[in-house]
Amino acid sequence: MMQAVITNVFHQNFANKVPISFLHFERYLLLLMRIPNEYTSFKHWSEGVACLLEVIETLKKDYCIHLFMGIGGVFQDAMHVKESYSQARKARRKPPVQSVHVRFYEDLTKQEQLQKAIQYIEEHYDEQLAISDVAKYSNFSATHFSRLFKKEIGRNFVDYVAFTRIIKSLPYLRKYDYTIEKISFLCGFNTPNYFSLTFKKYVGISPTDYRNTQEILFK
């Protein structure tokens, strides 16, 4: 039922723009589309991005469906679908630059030292992370690291750490009957209130409301 709603809304919105189709892979629903030839990136196709955001808003407003998407690269050869899918999955697990609902693989930094910093954050998200410590680990001064991080990642260090912690909290909310207080502690937040405020800021709903939503598994 939910899958039919999602695919129908997509088809309605993209009907006069580009051909789209859907595939099941593992437990995900893959959206495939042929974007206009003049674009080598979906992100740069502003009309398509606007249409996608409209779909997401319609699903949320009219059907209470919260859609979170990762978007991989554009390939001419259908043999590269799996590569684009892998990129999309990787992007979906990272903090977004703008909308929480859409994350682009091309936004992920290719800078080796920053990749090292991001890995450190993901491995130590439950600890008290200071920018000076992560900068030192990445062989940068704190000032240079702060500027470079914002330029390359699109978010400042504090926001990125907070969003990483939010992402890490999702399985706890979905799979375990832990209290909000315990989850906030497990994910590195100082207080449950700060966790709840940060969660709603980035996700758009409270941790409790998220816990009460039903996860859609595409089979």
0.75 surpassed by pTM: yes
Residues 75 and 120 in one domain: no
Q: What is the pLDDT of residue 217?
A: 62
What is the C-alpha to C-alpha distance for residues 101 and 180, in angstroms, rounded to an integer? 23
CB proximity list for 148: less than 8 A, separation 6 or greater: 111, 114, 140
Q: What is the mean pLDDT of residues 173-200?
A: 96
Residues 65-74: tens digit of each pLDDT = 888 899 999 9
Residues 142 and 182 in one domain: yes
- Among candidate residues 85, 107, 129, the one where a domain is terminated: 107
User: Over 80: is that where the pLDDT of 218 sits?
Assistant: no
Residues 80 and 175 in one domain: no
Residues 95 and 115 in one domain: no
- Among candidate residues 77, 107, 137, the one where a domain is terminated: 107
DSSP 133-165: HHHHHTT--HHHHHHHHHHHHSS-HHHHHHHHH
- Among candidate residues 50, 84, 107, the one where a domain is terminated: 107
Q: Amino acid identity of 80?
A: H
How many folded domains does the chain comprise? 2
Q: What is the mean pLDDT of residues 85-89?
A: 92
What is the C-alpha to C-alpha distance for residues 48 and 40, in angstroms, rounded to an integer? 13
Q: What is the chain's alpha carbon radius of gyration, rounded to the nearest angstrom?
A: 18
Token couple for 107? 């936004």
Q: What is the pLDDT of residue 131?
A: 97
Q: What is the pLDDT of residue 214?
A: 77
Q: Are strands 20-25 and 28-33 parallel, antiparallel or unpaired?
A: antiparallel
Residues 66 and 47 in one domain: yes
What is the C-alpha to C-alpha distance for residues 131 and 158, in angstroms, rounded to an integer? 8
Q: Are 141 and 135 in contact (CB under 8 A)?
A: yes
Residues 97 and 162 in one domain: no
In which domain, by residue range, is 169 found?
109-219
Residues 41-79: tens digit of each pLDDT = 999 999 999 999 999 999 989 998 888 899 999 988 878
Residues 198-214: tens digit of each pLDDT = 999 988 899 999 998 87
Q: How far is CA 183 from CA 65, 100, 139, in A?
A: 24, 21, 32
